[in-house]
Amino acid sequence: MVISGGFGVGKTTAVGSISEIEPLTTEAAITEVAAGVDDLTHTPAKTTTTVAMDFGCLTIDPTLKLYLFGTPGQERFGFMWDDIVEGAVGGLVIVDTRRLDDCYAAVDYFEHKGIPFAVAANAFDGEVGHTLEEIRWALDVSDGVPVVVFDARETGSVRDALLVVLELALARVAPPGAPR
C-alpha cells in the first residue's frame, strides 16, 4: 500500500505510527536551498524531508500483511513513484487542508494509474479546515473515492484510514456478490 501526498503532510509520521517494525526512512536534512524551494510556512519546525521513500509493514490477520511505502512529497522526486507503486493494491493520499493544492499531483497520479485510493485529511492541531465535501470538491475526486479525516500520529486513526483503502482494493478483486 502506498502512502502519498504533498510535502510535510504526515506520510512519514503515518508510516511510523502504524508499522509493526521500525520503519525504514530516507530522511535528509532540509538544506538552505531546499528551504527556498519547499514551502515551510505551515511546517516551520520541519528539519528533514523524505528523499526516496519510507517503508513499514502491518499484519492485518494471519493471512494478510500490508507493506507500506511512503512516497516523497516534492515533485522533484516524482520520478521514483512508478517504482514505488509497482504492485500496489491501493493508495492513501494524505492532505493538509491548509494547502490542498499540494496533493493534486498525488490524486492525479492514482487516478491516471487506476489504483484505488482514498483521501485522508490530516487533522493538524486537531483541526481540519474544510468539510469532507469541500475537500472532495476542491480535489475534484469522484464519489467512489472515500474522503476521511485522520490523525497521522494516532495508530488507530491510521489503521482505520488504511482499512478504507484495503476495502476498496478487496472490492476490486472480489467477484460480485462474494463475501468479503
pLDDT for residue 168 is more than 90: yes
State mean pLDDT over 2-16. Answer: 91
What predicted TM-score, i.e. pTM, was given to this entire model? 0.82
State the pLDDT at residue 164: 96
Cα separations in angstroms, 51 against 123, 129, 136, 140, 155: 24, 28, 29, 28, 24
pLDDT tens figures, 112-125: 999 999 999 999 87
Burial of 20 (0-12, 13-18, 19+ CB in 10 A): exposed
Length of the chain: 180
pLDDT tens figures, 21-65: 998 776 656 555 444 455 545 555 545 555 557 899 999 889 889
The total of other beta-carbon atoms located within 10 Å of residue 161's CB is: 27
